[in-house]
């Protein structure tokens, strides 16, 4: 397999972030084996951009060489926490083109990164920075235009840097920078005019209600959940219009829904700790207390979701509980305004 240098990621970031100043967020996690549903040993680092962009790239490649997954935040940050409130002004839009082919009317991307064979991250450079909320709106409209993965538009999105390896697969393919043309850039108003005029509404865009029978998050098949719950997992509570008063309540609702639909603890943990899911924000925000927070949430949700007779034989991490023997109780949610 071709050995790539840190220059590939640094060149991409230069094209995406330009002369902006901020923090470049990177993240690593351990996938115990190809196809594993769990990611563990999560670590986040923040490097000053642009002065330490190459150091950030070397950190990602070093973790990848050590057998870890490596990611970067799609936009710069203003503080050392990868949450939407810390998003810096955005100079490039992004989409996760999960096998989607660009249509003839789609804007030409500035950069294409092959995350695995048949899958790519797409980026569109802007001529000037825009607000984070404006970037989310244009990202959603870009997804309508290019037909990309509807879970890849929101702020704090983690993407794979070129030169690292994708360890979801047995052969751990290298993430490649396929195309890069820094001369391709769009005025925000140009995209505003050219893109579909109606973005998917928040909360729970209509596009989430398409046939999602094979949709997964990480390696967990979520087809047994409702489109509404899948949208909450993908985008998180805030980006879904705050259907729950707090992110902790949203995490609790997801865990209850998953137990009620027949998923086991390993699946629930995988979903709530997958950095690609918006629902994982509260877990990562808790830092070193995240593991205890997650255990408490899961234990309480299991008690709510499973009848007493099912709980009697349900050990932590057990699999294959008869789904017909349990029913998830209703969880109160505040209507989005």
SS3 183: coil
pLDDT, residue 117, reads 87
How far, in Å, CA of 18 to CA of 123, rounded? 13
Mean pLDDT by 10 residues, the chain (337 residues): 63 96 96 83 95 96 95 95 90 82 79 90 95 90 72 83 93 94 94 74 38 46 89 83 85 92 90 85 78 89 71 42 38 38
Q: Would you say 272 and 255 are in contact if contact means Cβ atoms under 8 Å apart?
A: yes
Spatial neighbors of 166 by CB under 8 A, at least 6 apart, are 69, 115, 116, 160, 172, 173, 174, 175
How far, in Å, CA of 47 to CA of 23, rounded? 5
Give the phi and the psi of residue 24 in degrees, each rounded to 5: -95, 110
Helix (H) and strand (E) counts in the chain: 10, 11
- Pairing mode, if any, of strands 119-130 and 185-186? parallel
CA terminus-to-terminus distance, the chain: 52
pLDDT, residue 166, reads 94
User: What is the model's pTM?
Assistant: 0.62
Q: Which residue carries 């979801």 as its tokens?
A: 168
Name the packing angle between helices 265-273 and 247-260 (round to 10°).
150
Stated as kind and residue range, the H or E segment containing 123 is: strand 119-130
pLDDT, residue 329, reads 36
How far, in Å, CA of 299 to CA of 102, rounded? 44
Kindly report the CATH number that applies to the domain delimited by 7-194.
3.30.70.1790
How far, in Å, CA of 285 to CA of 85, rounded? 12
The domain segmentation of the chain, as residue ranges, is 7-194, 206-325
């Amino acid at each position: 397999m071709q050995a790539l240098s840190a220059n590939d990621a640094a060149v991409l970031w230069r094209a995406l972030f330009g002369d902006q100043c901020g923090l470049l967020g990177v993240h690593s996690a351990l996938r115990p084996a190809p196809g594993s549903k769990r990611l563990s040993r999560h670590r986040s680092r923040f490097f000053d951009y642009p002065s330490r962009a190459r150091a950030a790239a070397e950190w990602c490649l070093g973790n990848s060489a050590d057998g870890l997954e490596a990611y970067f935040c799609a936009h710069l940050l203003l503080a050392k926490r990868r949450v939407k409130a810390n998003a810096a002004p955005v100079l490039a839009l992004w989409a996760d083109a999960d096998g989607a082919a660009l249509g003839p009317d789609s804007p030409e991307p500035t950069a294409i990164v092959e995350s695995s064979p048949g899958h790519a991250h797409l980026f569109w450079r802007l001529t000037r920075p825009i607000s984070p909320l404006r970037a989310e709106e244009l990202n959603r409209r870009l997804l309508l235009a290019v037909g990309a993965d509807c879970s890849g538009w929101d702020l704090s999105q983690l993407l794979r840097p070129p030169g690292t390896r994708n360890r979801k697969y047995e052969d751990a393919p290298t993430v490649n920078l396929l195309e890069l043309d820094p001369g391709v850039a769009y005025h925000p108003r140009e995209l505003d005019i050219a893109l579909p005029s109606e973005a998917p509404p928040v909360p729970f865009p209509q596009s989430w209600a398409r046939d999602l029978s094979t949709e997964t998050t990480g390696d967990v098949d979520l087809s047994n959940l409702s489109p509404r719950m899948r949208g909450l997992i993908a985008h998180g509570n805030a980006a879904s219009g705050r259907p729950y008063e707090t992110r902790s309540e949203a995490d609790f609702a997801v865990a209850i829904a998953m137990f009620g639909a027949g998923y086991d603890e390993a699946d629930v943990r995988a979903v709530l700790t997958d950095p690609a899911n918006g629902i994982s924000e509260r877990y990562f925000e808790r830092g070193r207390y995240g593991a205890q927070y997650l255990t408490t949430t899961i234990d309480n949700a299991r008690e709510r979701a499973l009848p007493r007779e099912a709980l009697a034989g349900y050990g932590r991490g057990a699999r294959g509980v008869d789904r017909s023997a349990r029913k998830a109780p209703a969880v109160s949610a505040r209507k989005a305004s």
